Amino acid sequence: MGLSHSSLALYLLLISVSDGEGLSYWSDRTICEALDMTSSSLREATAELEKADLVAYAAPIFQVLSIPVHEVAR
């Protein structure tokens, strides 16, 4: 998958603060403060997680998605 440190940190934070539906209502500002991250870094990390199908984002709400299962060739 090859995710950056920032993306992994964001993913772990979102898992920790999301409700039972995987939704996080933390603001971008609060996330940036918690992770000591710039808003630009947050956008990049979010894009990486979306590309990996690990989160969905529609401002201001994140949703943690199920980890995708990739079929292994036999």
Instruction: For residue 2, name the pLDDT band (cuts at 50, 70, 90).
Output: confident
Model-level pTM greater than 0.85? yes
pLDDT at 68 over 80: no
Distance in angstroms (rounded) separating the CA atoms of residues 48 and 41: 11
Number of domains in the chain: 1
Range of the domain at 50: 5-64
- Domain contains 21: yes
- Domain contains 71: no
pLDDT at 18: 96
For the chain, the average pLDDT equals 92
How far, CA to CA in Å, does 7 sit from each of 22, 29, 47, 71, 72? Answer: 17, 16, 9, 24, 25
pLDDT in tens, 32-65: 999 999 999 999 999 999 999 999 999 999 999 9
- Domain contains 74: no
- Contact criterion met (CB below 8 Å) for 19 and 61: no
